[in-house]
Every structure is written in structure tokens, then in C-alpha cells.
Structure 1
Amino acid sequence: MNPKVSIIILNWNGWKNLTDTCLKSLEKLTYPNYNVIVVDNGSTDGSQDLIKEKFPYVTLIENGKNLGFARGMNVGIKHALKNEVDYVFVLNNDMAIISRNLLEELVKTANSDKKIGIVVPKVMDYGDPSKVQFNGKIKHLSGFTMEVSGCGFLAKKEVLEDVGLYDPIFFMYYEGLDLFFRVKKKGYRIVFVPSVKIKHKGFGTSNQFSFHHQYYHIRNNFLFLKRYYPKKMLFIVKGVSRNLLRSIRDCLRCYLNRNLKGLLSSIRGTIKGLLDGIILVLNTKNFMEGEHEEYWHI
């Protein structure tokens, strides 16, 4: 019998042109043993009723409020793991499936080696599916390279039970990178499968020029680098500086486009993210050892 796969999608006011398109694309999958779980983070756009109406086979979990990406996804993953699933496929709602045999190939690769913990497909551009977004390596803003894209990946049940889920301290952004680093620190492999593809819009329900987008990118950059590079202050400064340059670029873009609201939000988010990041790093002891494990361990 084919291993059971649960596809987990988080929704927050993302029905139009995101979650609906993502769910429709799943209908092309040919894998015989999978189910779909959508976790709703307190949407106010009617997403819940529309999902129930258009996709009655989907298991809908309603959190009632916005728990953030990390904690919200954990609700769905924990639900799946309690229902005897073998694999969890985490998928952002701004994604769509290209390859019909996606799950067959990912599961086959994952089954080929006990040390494989996570398997990742090739990620293409949503507007131009011939253009590659992720092809096995990501050169991150912080200066390091990672072999996995967090917008869509397959993870083994036993690996998640061993390593833990997303750490909610990140809320949104860097939670995936943190999970992947923990997977590798435990000795598991992360494998890229280029023969199957998904496509990615980018930004989803987050606004590139919003306060929260700038804030969590800057703040979480500090937290992530402090956890994994606690003694390399020059590396931390270099990594955060790159993110600051990105924020300055976004502010300049808002100014040139006369987007006053976006400009003010971006400036506020950048400054507060910088200040909170410094404070949290200075005040957080034993962060590398997982001070917040009680929130994300199963």
C-alpha cells in the first residue's frame, strides 16, 4: 500500500487567486493515498465557507485568529501526525502543482534512504513556468546556501517527531530555515528532486511594503543568526546588513512610486525590527539550544 501523505496549507484571507487556485491544482495529482488539510488563521474574507462549499473533501481547521505562519502550520501538521500519516507535504497557498506525479516521485525518493528527512521539488515562477525559482540551492540574504525551498516540501513523520515542528518565535519568515537547519543538525539529508515541479507566486497574503513584512524579516534575521552562529558577530552583522539593504531598496521603491503608506510602513517595520532584533538577541540566553522547544515539540 502507498504511504499516506497529508498536504498542509495555511490560509489567511487568501481565498481569491491564492488558496482556491492552489486547491484546484491539487486535483491533478495522481497519487492514490493523500488527503488535504487547510488551516485557517481567522480569515475575514469568507474563506472558510468557500472552502467548505467548493472543496468538501478538504479537512478545514479553523484557528479563529491569526496565529502566524509557524504556529498555524503546526496546528495542521500535528493534526496530520495524530491521524497515522506517513508523510507531510507542506505547501504555501501561493503555490500550484505542475507535475501530476509530484507525490509519487517525492515519496519514492524519501523511501530510498532512511537518512533522507526532507524532499523538495523544483520550484518554477508562477507567471512564467519555464523560469526556475529554485533549482537545488538558495543563496540566502544572510550569506549562506541552503538546499531547500520552504514553500513546498515533503517531510517524513518520524523526522518531524524527532526534530520538532516550526518554532513559533519566528511567527513568519525564517521558520522554515530554522526547521531545515535542525533537520540537518540531527544528521538527516535534504534531497532535491528536479524531475517534478511546482510553481510559486511569491508574497502570498503578505504585502512586501507592509510593516509586518519588513519587521519580521529584520527581527527574525537576528534571531536565526544568533541561534546558529552565536559567536560569529561579524557574520551576524553582515547578514542583517544585507536584509537592511533590501528594506532600504523597498523604501526607495515606495518613494519613487509615491506610495506614502507603503513608505511609512516599511520605515516603521525596519526600525522596530532592527531594535527588537538587537534586544532579543542580547536578552535571549541559550537560544541555540532551543529555549522555546515547549512550543513546537510534539
Structure 2
Amino acid sequence: MKDLSVIIVNYNVSYFLEQCLLSVKRAVAGLDVEVFVVDNNSVDGSVEMVRRRFPEVILHANKENLGFSKANNQAMREAQGKYVLLLNPDTVVEEDTFLKCFRYMEEHPEAGALGVKMMDGAGKFLPESKRGMPTPWVAFSKVFGLSALFPKSATFNRYHLGHLSADETHEVDILAGAYMFMRAEALDKVGLLDETFFMYGEDVDLSYRIQQGGYKVIYFPETRIIHYKGESTRKTSVNYVFMFYRAMMVFAEKHFSGRQAKFYSYLIKLAIYLRAGLAIVSRAAQKLFPLLLDGICLAIGVLIGERLVQDPLTLGFTPSWAVYFSLWFGAAFFSGAYDEPSKLYRLVRGMLIGSVLIMAFSSIMGVTDVLGVTNKKHLLIAVSVGLVGMAFWRMFLHWRQYGNWRFGEPRAKRIAIVGSQKEVKRATSLLREVGLHDPIAKLETQNAEADLRQLQEIIKIHKINELIFCGKDLAVSQIIEWMVQVHDNAIEFKILPENSTYIIGSSSKDARGDYYALHIEVNLLNPYHRRNKFMVNSLVSLLLLVCAPVLILGMKGKSQFLKNCLANLVGLYQWVGLKANATPDSKPAVLSPVDKIQSDRLSQPAARQIEIAYAKDYSVFSDLEIIFKNIWQLGRKV
């Protein structure tokens, strides 16, 4: 029997998985450990990376995304360890983490599961390291913000057990699935993960069942891990809200009964609609905020122009202004004025194009324009004043965020690298390859305590805003300790793993982790191409609906064809999209790039490669070719 079986389920985070496995490799010292990686059909080279760099790992390369529970169970059924650890790929463990957990469990046979102190990529404690049972009251306090208002309250914040010290060992109710160190004997008694849960809630359910089986669930802060979080979830998305709260409903239906279950179900349904509504409003507000400010600037320009021109026929906002504003904003949108990163020339170009269109529109409509008469001088003043205002608020927000007036350029990175001379040189070379400047300062490590004092001085003198730690030279425990000691909201931390071409980090638990690597342009991710794809989808749908009386005669799936046309028209579906490489956030697609060659015998890997090539070299003509080549297949179910 092995001492420990470590199980990591991966989905499209090769760069994090590589760093995680490197930390695991160090942490197995002193124990007899087997390591499983279960890959849920990743398309980012994760499987190839594991085979190349970690041949000792037991790898399961699934041909579909089985979800968290099924994938973990797949390995747990084979595990030979006295203890089983479920570990997320976006984690980094300290060198003694496994040994400390093993010894604690050996000394406390009543403990069935153990979790550790988790820190995010900025060195902040993650409160989900310890959680209480999500009873109706706990859920109510969490959903309606009482836990956030009273973070230290035993009554209102039992969800994160805010009243319990993060630095002391406690018996708790729930552990996070990112790190669950469990006794195999307990799993034999209570069963594995419930496969009813696809992505969320399975850790809550298993923690609860381990307690019901007569074991204790322990929060153990004597060792720490980094958990980047945010990698596989977008918590502001409607999709996340529905998946998470539906998982809570499954838990309630399974473990509660009677009036309690009904109240919990009602509460969760209410939470789903409230949080989904807030997510939709929040995302819409973020999208519309720049348009609102630009509209105010243009409106001020109109009012100033009215005063200067003093033409009685142009007084007030006539109906024609709605048309003019639409033309201005439409031209600005298609010019890329609202794409990231923002560029002033795109805004100016869009407004100039819009003004030309407006002049042409006014000339065509003539002086007797039924929408209202607008003086051309008035228009020029309005757009000129509006542009000044638009430029000003963009520059001001940029200054607030980045501390400089160089609009379109992020805050200059002032990087310091900590590590041996060889690794510092390698990190510098990687930074150059991705177009970044050489580091401002370098610190070669010798004595941890002296190095920390020197590092703090370097940060202060050189105004460092990004620290890169060389993972080959530094212990994870030392990196975490320095992150905690140095912690400053203005500083971002990244790690260069041993022999890796990635420099990895994340600024907070809610921020998607980022990394430096050689950049490969993917057209399908470019805002310009995505906007064109949406427009082509809608225009093709409109054309197909006009021609529907004729097309429908030869169409397979006539009613589905009409449904597909309407769904594409409003942006719910896409005519051509990725299927073999689809993610949970992908829009349903009627056709895929594979339909271009019209072959039913392609293997899944071949289909993925075709889709990757399509995404890399995408243009709207690719979609048009596939659509018209498969026009009689547009009635397919998505």
C-alpha cells in the first residue's frame, strides 16, 4: 500500500498543471506517493506536456469532459494510497505540505479529511479554506450579503466560519475541493464523489458524508498552498451562477427533508434569479458605461453648438439627433473605439466616419428633413466638443488606473527577479521574447532573512510593481512567506517554474491567472473578427429568413432551421463554431469547420486540429464558405 495517492483533474490549464506537478514532485519526499493526472479532453497540449515532463505520473487522457466528480472517481478507484488527496491543477504546494498532513492524520485517527491554509496569487488568505455547513440560514446570510457585512460574526458568517482564527487548527464542516486530504478508509465507508454534481458542490457533499460517517473534518493551517483560483470559473457569468446554485439545490434535495428542504429550495431558486439578474445587469453596465459617458459628452457638444450657432431651427434635441447619435456610435463601434486596449485614434476615426455619414445623410434628406433640420456647423461643433470630452474621460480613467497620461499603454512594468544568476538570466530572456523590458532589479538569493530585508529595500527604492520568483532556486514555503511579508496591493507576484517557458501569476482570487509566454495570434479571439462574425451571423440569418419559403422545401429539419435562423439573428447561436474544442462558455453551433471537408470519418484529434487552424486563420469568408457548402444542413440540431 502507498502512503498517499495524489489526484489532479485538469482541463485546459497546461501551464498551471506543469507548475503544480513540479511542486508535487518536491513535496513527495519522505513518503511513498503515486500521482494521477486525469485530463478531461484538454486541447492545450496538457497531455503531451505530462507525458514529456512527468513520465512517472499515472495519466488518464479522457476523450470527453467528464466533469470534476467522474474524473476524480476514475482515479480514486485505482488509488492504492492509505490517504487520497484531491488537488486542483492551479495550486502550488509547500515542500513539507504532504508530510505534515500525513503525520497529522496518523496522529489523529478520528480525522477523516483535512484541508490546509490556502493563499491566492497575491498572498492573501482565501476564506474558503474553512467553511460551515450550508444550512438554510447560512445560505440566506451568504446570498443576501450578511456574511460580507459581518465577516467575523459566528451568526452571520458561518459560511466561511469568520469567527474562527485562520492560524489555528479547527474542526470544520466543509473543505474546498482544491485540496482535500482524505483517509481512504473513510472513503471506503462513505463512498466516492457523487457524480450527480458536474463541477460544483461535490466537495460540500463529500465533506458532509465524511462527518456523517463518524469522522472529523479538520482545517489545518500548519502548512500552506497557493491556489490561483478564477482559472476555470467566471464568477460574474450567468452560466457560473446557474451551475453553482443548482449544485446547492442538488445538495439540499439529497440531505434535507420536509419544510427545511422546501425553504432551502425556494431560497436557492431566489438566489439564482437574483444573482443571475445582477450578473446580467453588471455585465451590461460595464459594456454600456463607456457609451453612456460618450453620449453625455456628445450631448454637451450639441448644447454648446446650439449656443454658438444660435440658429432657431436647431434649438433642442430634434428626432434627427437620435439618428445622428446612432451613426456616430455605430461608426465608432465598428472602428474599434470600444475594443481593448483602447486607442484614441480608433475613436477619432469612428467619429470622423460617422460625421461624414451624417453629412451625407443630411444632404440626401435635404432642408425639408422631416426628422428635423440640423445646421452642419452645429454638427461639427457637437462632434468636436464631444471628442474632447471623450478623450478627457478616457485619459483621466487611464491616469487613475496606471498613473500616467500615455493613453493606451498600461502602467510600465517595473520588474524585479529573485533567484540564482542562471535562472534570473533565463527569466530575463523570456521577458524579452514576449516584448517586455529587462528587469529593473535582480536579487540573487543567499540568506532568506537577509534577502527579504534587501528585497523590501529594492521594492521601495526602485518602485517595483512586479516580482518574479525563480521556482528552481526558491522553496515554495519561502515564496509564500515572502508574498505574505512583502504583500502590497501595488505589487503582482509571478513564479518561473523550473525548466518552464511560462512565468505564472494572478493578482487576486477573482482574477483569471495570467502568464507570459510566446504569443500566437488567434484571429477568432480578436475583437475585430468576433464583431464581424456576429454581424455575418445576423445578416446571413436575415437573408435565410427572407429566402425561407423557397429554402425550406429542400431543408432537412424544417422547424429546427427556422429556430436556428432566429437564434443566430439575435446572437444566441452561431452558424459555424468550435465543437471538438468547445468550452462551457461556447455558444451552440449548427456547423463546425470540419463540415468544410464534409467527412464523417475524422478522428476527434483530427477534428480538433482542423478547428484550431480555423480559429488561428479565421475570416468571415471561412464561415460563408462553410455555410453555403452545407446550406441544406442548416436545419441540424445544435
1:161 and 1:87 map into 2 onto residues whose CA distance is: 11
1:120 to 115, 118, 142: 115
Judge conservation of contact 2:41–2:64 (CA < 8 Å) in 1.
yes
Judge conservation of contact 2:114–2:181 (CA < 8 Å) in 1.
yes
Judge conservation of contact 2:238–2:276 (CA < 8 Å) in 1.
no
**CA displacement, residues 228-273 of structure 1 (integer Å, 9 cap, x when unaligned):** 2222122332344345433333223321232999xx88xxx9xxxx
Q: Confirm or deny that 1:174 pairs with 2:172.
A: no
Residues 1:132 and 1:210: Cα distance change in structure 2 (over 3 Å):
closer
Report the structure, 1 or 2, having the larger strand content.
1
The aligned residue for residue 65 of structure 1 is 64
Structure-1-length-normalised TM-score: 0.77
1:37 and 1:19 map into 2 onto residues whose CA distance is: 12
Judge conservation of contact 2:194–2:202 (CA < 8 Å) in 1.
yes
- Matched letter for residue 151 of structure 1: A
2:75 and 2:219 map into 1 onto residues whose CA distance is: 24
The offset of 1:121, in angstroms, is: 0.8
Judge conservation of contact 1:120–1:148 (CA < 8 Å) in 2.
yes
The aligned residue for residue 101 of structure 2 is 106
**CA displacement, residues 99-139 of structure 1 (integer Å, 9 cap, x when unaligned):** 221111111111123221001111111x2224343453358
The aligned residue for residue 20 of structure 2 is 22
1:90 and 1:67 map into 2 onto residues whose CA distance is: 16
Judge conservation of contact 1:163–1:183 (CA < 8 Å) in 2.
yes
- Matched letter for residue 46 of structure 1: G
Aligned with 2:89: secondary structure?
Answer: coil
Deviates more, 1:146-155 or 1:172-181: 146-155
Judge conservation of contact 1:142–1:242 (CA < 8 Å) in 2.
no
Judge conservation of contact 1:122–1:134 (CA < 8 Å) in 2.
no
1:40 and 1:31 map into 2 onto residues whose CA distance is: 27
Structure-2-length-normalised TM-score: 0.38
The aligned residue for residue 253 of structure 1 is 282
The offset of 1:158, in angstroms, is: 0.8
Deviates more, 1:51-60 or 1:211-220: 211-220
1:132 and 1:37 map into 2 onto residues whose CA distance is: 26
2:177 to 126, 146, 150: 150
2:55 and 2:247 map into 1 onto residues whose CA distance is: 37
1:134 and 1:147 map into 2 onto residues whose CA distance is: 9
The aligned residue for residue 237 of structure 1 is 266
2:84 to 85, 88, 91: 88
The offset of 1:40, in angstroms, is: 0.8
Residues 1:240 and 1:197: Cα distance change in structure 2 (over 3 Å):
farther
Judge conservation of contact 2:242–2:272 (CA < 8 Å) in 1.
no
Deviates more, 1:237-246 or 1:61-70: 237-246
1:177 and 1:171 map into 2 onto residues whose CA distance is: 13
Q: Confirm or deny that 1:224 pairs with 2:251.
A: yes
Deviates more, 1:249-258 or 1:66-75: 249-258
Aligned with 1:4: secondary structure?
Answer: strand
The aligned residue for residue 11 of structure 1 is 10
Consecutive unaligned residues of structure 2, counting only runs of 5 or more, are 141-157, 160-172, 289-530, 535-570, 573-583, 585-638
Aligned with 2:257: secondary structure?
Answer: coil
Aligned with 1:170: secondary structure?
Answer: coil
Q: CA RMSD in A?
A: 2.7
Aligned with 1:86: secondary structure?
Answer: strand
Residues 1:23 and 1:32: Cα distance change in structure 2 (over 3 Å):
same
The offset of 1:180, in angstroms, is: 0.9
Aligned with 1:74: secondary structure?
Answer: helix
Aligned with 2:115: secondary structure?
Answer: strand
The aligned residue for residue 221 of structure 2 is 194
**CA displacement, residues 59-101 of structure 1 (integer Å, 9 cap, x when unaligned):** 1111211111110111011121xxx31111110112111x221
The aligned residue for residue 345 of structure 2 is none
Structure having greater relative contact order (Cα 8 Å, sep ≥ 6): 1
2:127 and 2:63 map into 1 onto residues whose CA distance is: 33
Consecutive unaligned residues of structure 1, counting only runs of 5 or more, are 270-298
Judge conservation of contact 2:132–2:174 (CA < 8 Å) in 1.
yes
1:109 and 1:243 map into 2 onto residues whose CA distance is: 39
Judge conservation of contact 1:117–1:189 (CA < 8 Å) in 2.
yes
2:30 and 2:287 map into 1 onto residues whose CA distance is: 48
2:41 and 2:25 map into 1 onto residues whose CA distance is: 25
The aligned residue for residue 35 of structure 1 is 34
The offset of 1:211, in angstroms, is: 6.0
**CA displacement, residues 134-158 of structure 1 (integer Å, 9 cap, x when unaligned):** 4533585725643422210111111
| Greater Rg over alpha carbons, structure | 2
Q: Confirm or deny that 1:137 pairs with 2:131.
A: yes
The offset of 1:196, in angstroms, is: 0.5
1:241 and 1:19 map into 2 onto residues whose CA distance is: 37
2:66 and 2:221 map into 1 onto residues whose CA distance is: 33
The offset of 1:222, in angstroms, is: 1.3
The offset of 1:3, in angstroms, is: 5.8
Residues 1:21 and 1:248: Cα distance change in structure 2 (over 3 Å):
farther
Q: Percent identity?
A: 25
1:21 and 1:133 map into 2 onto residues whose CA distance is: 23
The aligned residue for residue 293 of structure 1 is none
Judge conservation of contact 1:142–1:240 (CA < 8 Å) in 2.
no
Aligned with 2:283: secondary structure?
Answer: helix
Aligned with 1:70: secondary structure?
Answer: helix
Residues 1:251 and 1:187: Cα distance change in structure 2 (over 3 Å):
same
1:243 and 1:150 map into 2 onto residues whose CA distance is: 22
The offset of 1:210, in angstroms, is: 5.1
